A and B are shown apart, each in its own frame.
Chain A
Amino acid sequence: MSPALLATTATEGQQHATAAKNSFASGRDKITGVNPKGTPPAIQLIPMAPRLDTLNGKTVYLVDTGFHGSDVLLHQIEAWFGRNMPGTTVVFRRKAGPYMEDDPNLWKEIKAKGNAVIMAVGH
């Protein structure tokens, strides 16, 4: 998705305004209203991390965010790897703290010991 899509409010707004003018505005007084929107921050694009050639021989961390059922889902993914990609080492971890809080210690561990991450899930 292009970041430009994040500006849909403005783009659609201009389209609506034009349509309104063409359809209804003739013969009536016009007034000017201000744009009430705040100022969004510019977006710093982050290059994605280089991908792996293969998962065989690699360590994949399965990170449970703490949402209900995330552990059940990730353990099924763990089992899938065991059945279908036994050359991949899978490590299950529950992220510390509630889902909305960061866990820098876990990220440090993954960076030191892991090659890839699968993180789940929302509801």
Chain B
Amino acid sequence: MGIPSAPLVTKAFKDLAILNAAKRGMPHERICFTPHPVWGKTPEEVRAYVEGPDPVSGKPLMKEIVDALTAPLSDDEKKSGMVSVSVGPPTFTDTADNLQEFYLNNGYTDFLPIIIPTEEKVDAMMKGTSHKPDEAVGKMAAGAYPAWSYNVRQVAASAVMAGCRPEYFPIVLAVASSGIASLFSSTNSFAFAMVVNGPIRDKLEFNYGIGALGPFAQPNATIGRAWTILSKNLGNGGIAGDTYLGSLGNNLNYNNVVIAEHEDASPWVPFHVQRGFKKEENVVSLFRGLGVVPGQVARGSSANENVQFDYQMSDLFSTFTGFFGALIIADPLVAARLKEQGYDTKEKLVDWLYKNTTQTVKDYKSRNYAYLFDYPRALRGDEPWASWYKMPDDALIPHFPHASDINIVVAGGQTNAYPQAGNLSYGVSVSIDKWM
């Protein structure tokens, strides 16, 4: 704007604020700090912040702010031009044990042992695709900073480290090409999921039967892990305090939620067909949200012949933030029962869930995400939030803004009739075949 500014940030985000300003070209930005947190403090408590010191500099906060706007600029603050950023040499040479430590100590791993990405193994990985090593794959940023770019060879290194076989590589490339990092900077500790559809599930021997979401097959385990490792290495994500701020973190980030849909046992069309692909195409679809909850916690979930899975799913949604959508993972037994009850398409079930999972306006307004994300949209006139905020407190509104926020896939071993549900939003579906 060409106007002096004084950004004010709480102390907990000191490193993030300084580093982000530098990444965006203002390494000397005059950032002022208040104690943390501001959220939940009374006006009197906040007045003490304003009249007290900046907890970083120790100087009176308001003097710091006034100085930020009026003190003459230094030569460094007036600088323009380009600054290159190095990530180090192209290779590292040492013993295998020392390199294992080296990769771990430098933040290249998920803190589990890795396969050292030797040039031989990276070359072998690249035989899993017809694409050239230096071909651009995509760009990725795990937060509000300029995205990093990467080519096929750089993706291959992370795939090796995660333990992938070369035949898995097209899926890893498809995920990388999306630009979606599985580690995101939010303080909310996001979780991520991928749904794999098409013949490649059988060709690579994905597990979509007993223990479909567990550690029981190499492609499920390593492709999910590769997403996190490449998010660290290619998107510069997962640096605590800098590009990752999740307060509690999320255990699902180790290898993410990898779901190969049990297409043959499903009474419904596969997920990728819903998204416009042909059944014989190989597709990976990516989701982002907060996590997955088991269906056993829902009311009325005891296994009896009258169990109503639609009501169970609706009950699960009541604990979800409406900021993210829902991804139902239905065991084939659940899906078959739902079809018997009249839900012969996924769309019919989604429509029922959308219309019958409701909340009062009062409850809705009390939710954190509503204030932070939806209320500003309502002020701007965006629907449906603008209408919701005009309704009386006892009015009933849908739990999710749109029916399309609810998605369904089928997986599991049919040893018992349980669904799980993720508070996860659909992001994008990417062709795996394109990366063969």
Contact = CB atoms under 8 A, between A and B. Distances in A.
B13 A123 contact: yes
B278 interface: no
Contact of A50 (B4, B12, B22, B39): B4
Contacts of B187: 123
Interface string B363-382: 00000100111011101100
B43 A76 contact: yes
B25 A96 contact: no
Interface string B149-189: 11001100110010000000000000000000000000100
B92 A49 contact: no
Contact of B117 (A3, A24, A34, A98): A34
Contacts of A43: 22-25, 82-85, 146
Interface stretch (B61-69, B204-212, B396-404): B61-69
Interface in A86-123: 94-100, 107, 110-111, 114-123
A76 B65 CA distance: 14
Given A34-B119, A118-B8, A55 B149 contact: no
A45 B79 contact: yes
B230 to A, nearest CB: 8
What class of interface size applies to chain A in its complex with B? 35 or more
Interface in A10-48: 10-14, 16-17, 20-21, 24-25, 28-48
Interface residues of B, number: 108
A84 B63 CA distance: 11
Interface string B90-105: 1111111111011101
A18 B233 CA distance: 21
Interface in B46-103: 46-47, 49-51, 62, 65-66, 69-73, 77-99, 101-103
Interface stretch (B30-38, B266-274, B305-313): B30-38
A53 to B, nearest CB: 7
B122 interface: yes
Q: Is the interface of B mostly helix, strand, loop or mixed?
A: mixed
A32 B106 contact: no
B80 A31 contact: no
B147 interface: yes
A63 B46 CA distance: 17
A37 B108 contact: yes
B436 interface: no
Contact of B50 (A33, A51, A76): A76
Contacts of B140: 38
Contact of B94 (A17, A53, A60, A121): A17
Contacts of B236: 37-38, 40
11 contacts: A3-B22, A16-B106, A34-B90, A40-B87, A43-B83, A48-B28, A50-B4, A51-B73, A52-B4, A80-B62, A120-B34
Q: Which 8 residue pairs across A and B have the least CB separation, nearest first?
A: A10-B88, A38-B234, A69-B38, A68-B39, A36-B157, A120-B8, A38-B150, A37-B87
Given A2-B27, A10-B88, A35-B92, 16 more contacts: A13-B88, A20-B94, A25-B95, A33-B91, A34-B117, A42-B82, A43-B23, A45-B83, A46-B24, A48-B73, A50-B4, A55-B66, A76-B46, A111-B1, A116-B4, A123-B13
